[in-house]
Amino acid sequence: MTKSNITAVLIGEIEIDQTDSLETRLRTAFAVAHNHWLVTDQDIQFKAAIAYVLASYPEEHPDRINLKFEWDLLVHMSDVVERGAAPDANLLDRAQVTKTPGAYKMWKKLTQPEEEENGNETG
């Protein structure tokens, strides 16, 4: 089974009420994705949950725009660190003044709670 098929299976199991807040949508998606029996790679779990939450909003919804910005920032920083890509000054400047939903921090709290308890919080 390909990664995209596995991701589709995982996404198919997430159920979000359209009246839920962004935080509730993220927590719900993360709870389903985390330690899924078919998807053991936490990177894929995180991406699938984010993809589902993004798709649960209309294109121009402020929560979708903010979550998409956080996603774009995470992808960009990963490219900078892992591939040596040049930092995008405009994106980084915008990050200084844009409040993101904190999806990655929520994910880390769920997947690595012992680090937070020991004062070794990452992200």
- For residues 70 and 121, the model is more confident at 70
Number of domains in the chain: 1
Residue 16: other Cβ atoms inside 10 A: 17
At residue 109, the pLDDT reads: 93
Structure tokens at 117: 């308890």
Tell me how far apart the terminal alpha carbons of the chain are, to the nearest angstrom. 32
Domain-embedded: residue 121: no
Domain-embedded: residue 122: no
How much is the pTM?
0.78
11 — pLDDT class (breaks 50, 70, 90): low
Boundaries of domain holding 10: 3-112
Domain-embedded: residue 123: no
